[in-house]
């Protein structure tokens, strides 16, 4: 191909692709999804659900969101039919067919349509119009209310027209008043009492509703004060979607939409949880237990199982991602053992090494077979070296001797296996068991005194003291004999020899009036001993995420054996050196593991060789990485630019053009393409 033809081909590619790619962006809401949001679910979607839905980036995410949306409202999950969804669309059709007949609007857009869609069919409906009492057209709907949603046991919804040709409006006793139910030409001759009496001549029930929408609560025709409860009722009806469905699932969906969308995990389960940072030998380990309110177990022959995956994200206090990982937690139980725990909820225990700092932890627990998921987010303080501090107070429901073993298990501290009381609720008569630690203990704290106090809502119930006696771990039990049903606050203070408070912590708990409180059965993921390389490597990844490569390198350098290099350790150490811009050490480290053909190692090695201007050496390594990883923008740019540096423009330009196809917003790469094309 001639130079002129080659140059023309390149410019043709650029001329066609770049304008098209510049127009690409976030996928807008299609008419189908706009109709679903604004027409189908506008009355029942919560504000948070709508916010999350509008932030979704693809139709695939929206499809999964819609399925999860209806599932949260399904009264019989696990069955083929979703009665709520079916009933909702029947109400939409009824509203359009019936209330749209005499309106310029669609029936669902009218006020009668809105109430019908929110509340369903009334127990009874009465219609009033004209007659000797000169009434405006009225409809009185009678409902039975769900008190759990804040509705009265029985109530009215009253609609009226201001004149025969207007739309039906919802009636407010406070804002409208009985006069509004009388035809306009007669209103001026009547005061509120007279209007009420005239309505009463037509219907005593309508007259009562003109003063209050809640039967039996009375009402003074001369005052609007008695109508306040009716106005609250109307507001409560409009806010029913927020009461019927907790929006936690939508928040969890938004935070984990990529994972949820990929494996179609849509059935959100509320959960309780306990997180606690345990300090041992100067290292911090985060222990967690997650308690979904329910978890579907599957069966194969005589085995009961649940294939769980746990995704963990650790973010800094500024929201930046520090670390993330996915763990398999396969629960398997013999059918004979499952019979005794079948009716109890499941708790899942896990541990995670955590460097010092304040972090936001996000846990996503998924059942890959039943497509259930639960999510929690909590801020955790992992103590650094320094002055002593008191850990959070961990309320427990049980303590057992820890089984002997060399590994690490969740909430096994000081030879005790602890069972956190995630709901922080005791049954009547239960003892109060609590665990806590002194982080970074010193001589002053070791010689101090512990002061305990339990205060009820009106008085102090327990006060006690005991010496710290050089301990760091504390397991304390208080008799439950003095605890009556109610709410309490436990306070723990360490005081020095002079009586001065050094450190303290508080925790709230409740005592139920019930003789017992359901407790979960717990499945713990087991880990190797605390000196295993796993813990140092996770900490090193966290230091990298915090932008501290020097500390990351220091954490894992002792694990690297140059005579028998481990590829995972080598790559992690190379990442730290690369971020420290020590490319010579990266090359020395990774050239020794080239034969293991690791894609990440090849990419790091190629990037360091490129930064050292060893372009000819970088190219085969980068091309090997591209074969494994794919044509990412970064690799395409490195390969293409390396060829340009070696004055092999005809080999480099196709890679850079392809990079611009993937991401057109690269002005420096575009300049390089234009300059190289002119040279050709």
The 10s digit of each residue's pLDDT in 572-600 is 999 999 999 999 999 999 998 887 788 99
pLDDT band at residue 132, thresholds of 50, 70 and 90? low
Does 305 score more than 50 pLDDT?
Answer: yes
Q: Say what the pLDDT of residue 558 is.
A: 94
Q: Say what the pLDDT of residue 131 is.
A: 67
Q: Say what the pLDDT of residue 219 is.
A: 62
Torsion angle in degrees (nearest 10) through CA of 175, 178, 179, 183: 120
Q: Say what the pLDDT of residue 225 is.
A: 54
What would the pLDDT profile of 62-101 be if each residue is shown by its tens digit?
999 999 999 999 988 878 899 999 999 999 999 999 999 8
Q: Say what the pLDDT of residue 596 is.
A: 77
Query: What's the CATH class of domain 269-524?
Result: mainly beta
Percent residues over pLDDT 70 in the chain = 93
Q: Where are the domains of the chain?
A: 3-74, 122-241, 269-524, 533-679
What would the pLDDT profile of 158-187 be if each residue is shown by its tens digit?
999 988 889 999 999 988 889 899 887 555
| Report for 216-220, 332-336, 345-349: range of highest mean pLDDT | 345-349
Specify the CATH number for 533-679; select among 3.40.640.10, 1.25.40.10, 1.10.10.60, 1.25.40.340: 1.25.40.10
Where are any strands of DSSP class E within 199-302? Answer: 267-268, 271-280, 283-292, 298-300
Distances (CA, A) of 474 to 23, 166, 413, 469: 62, 73, 10, 11
Closest CA to 381 of 448, 329, 451, 440: 440
3-class secondary-structure state, position 46:
coil
Q: Has this prediction a pTM greater than 0.85? A: no
Check: CB of residue 422 under 8 Å from CB of residue 382.
no
Identical fold, 269-524 and 533-679: no
Q: Say what the pLDDT of residue 193 is.
A: 87
Check: CB of residue 33 under 8 Å from CB of residue 59.
yes
Reported as half-sphere exposure (CB side, CA atoms, 13 A), residue 371 has a value of: 15
Q: Say what the pLDDT of residue 262 is.
A: 77
């Amino acid at each position: 191909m001639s130079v002129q033809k080659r140059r023309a081909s390149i410019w043709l590619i650029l001329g066609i692709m770049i304008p098209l790619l510049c127009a690409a962006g976030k996928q807008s809401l299609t008419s189908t999804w706009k109709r679903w949001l604004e027409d189908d679910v506008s009355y029942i979607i919560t504000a948070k659900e709508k916010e999350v839905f509008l932030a979704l980036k693809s139709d695939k995410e929206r499809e999964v969101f819609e399925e999860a949306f209806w599932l949260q409202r399904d009264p019989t999950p696990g069955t083929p039919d979703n009665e709520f969804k079916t009933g909702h669309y029947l109400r939409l059709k009824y509203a359009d067919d019936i209330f749209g007949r005499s309106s310029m609007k669609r029936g669902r857009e009218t006020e009668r349509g809105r109430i019908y869609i929110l509340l369903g069919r009334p127990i009874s409906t009465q219609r009033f119009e004209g007659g000797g009492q000169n009434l405006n057209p009225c409809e009185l709907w009678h409902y039975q209310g769900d008190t759990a949603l804040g509705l009265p046991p029985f109530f009215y919804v009253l609609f009226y027209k201001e004149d025969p040709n207007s739309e039906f409006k919802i009636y407010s006793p406070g804002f409208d008043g009985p006069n509004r139910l009388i035809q306009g030409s007669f209103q001026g001759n009547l005061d509120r009492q007279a209007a009420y009496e005239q309505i009463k001549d037509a219907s005593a029930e309508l007259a009562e509703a003109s003063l209050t929408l809640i039967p039996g609560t009375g009402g003074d025709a001369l005052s609007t004060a008695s109508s306040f409860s009716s106005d609250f009722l109307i507001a409560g009806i409009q806010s029913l979607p927020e009461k019927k469905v907790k929006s936690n699932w939508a928040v969890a969906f938004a935070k984990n939409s990529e994972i949820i969308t990929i494996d179609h995990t849509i059935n959100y389960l509320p959960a309780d949880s306990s997180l606690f940072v345990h300090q041992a030998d100067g290292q911090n380990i985060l222990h967690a237990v997650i308690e979904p309110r329910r978890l579907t177990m599957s069966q194969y022959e005589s085995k009961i199982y649940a294939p769980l995956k746990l995704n963990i994200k650790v973010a800094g206090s500024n929201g930046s991602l520090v670390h993330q990982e996915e763990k398999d937690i396969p629960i398997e139980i013999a059918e004979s053992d499952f019979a005794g725990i079948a009716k109890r909820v499941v708790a899942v225990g896990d541990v995670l090494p955590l460097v010092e700092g304040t972090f936001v932890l996000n846990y996503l627990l998924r059942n890959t077979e039943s497509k259930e998921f639960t999510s929690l987010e909590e801020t955790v303080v992992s103590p650094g070296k320094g002055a002593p501090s008191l850990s959070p107070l961990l309320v427990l429901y049980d303590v057992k001797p820890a089984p002997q073993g060399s590994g690490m298990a969740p909430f096994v501290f000081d030879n005790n296996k602890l069972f956190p009381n995630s709901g922080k609720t005791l049954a009547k008569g239960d003892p109060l068991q609590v665990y806590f630690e002194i982080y970074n203990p010193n001589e002053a704290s070791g010689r101090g005194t512990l002061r305990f106090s339990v205060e009820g809502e009106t008085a102090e119930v327990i006060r006690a003291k005991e010496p710290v006696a050089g301990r760091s771990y504390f397991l304390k039990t208080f008799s439950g004999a003095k605890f009556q049903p109610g709410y309490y606050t436990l306070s723990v203070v360490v005081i020095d020899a002079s009586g001065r408070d050094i450190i303290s912590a508080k925790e709230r708990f409740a005592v139920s009036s019930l003789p017992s409180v359901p407790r979960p059965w717990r499945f713990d993921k087991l880990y190797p001993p605390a000196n295993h390389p796993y813990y140092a490597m996770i900490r090193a990844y966290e230091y990298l995420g915090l932008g501290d490569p020097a500390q990351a390198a220091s954490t894992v350098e002792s694990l690297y054996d140059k005579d028998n290099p481990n590829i995972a350790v080598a790559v992690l150490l190379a990442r730290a050196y690369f971020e420290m811009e020590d490319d010579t050490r990266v090359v020395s480290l990774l050239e020794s593991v080239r034969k293991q053909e690791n894609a990440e190692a090849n990419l790091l090695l190629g990037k360091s060789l490129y930064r050292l201007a060893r372009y000819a050496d970088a190219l085969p390594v980068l091309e090997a990485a591209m074969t494994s990883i794919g044509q990412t923008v970064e690799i395409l740019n490195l390969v293409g630019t390396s060829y340009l540096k070696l004055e092999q423009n005809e080999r480099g330009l196709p890679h850079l053009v392809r990079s611009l196809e993937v991401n057109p917003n690269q002005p420096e790469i575009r300049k390089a393409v234009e300059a190289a094309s002119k040279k050709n």
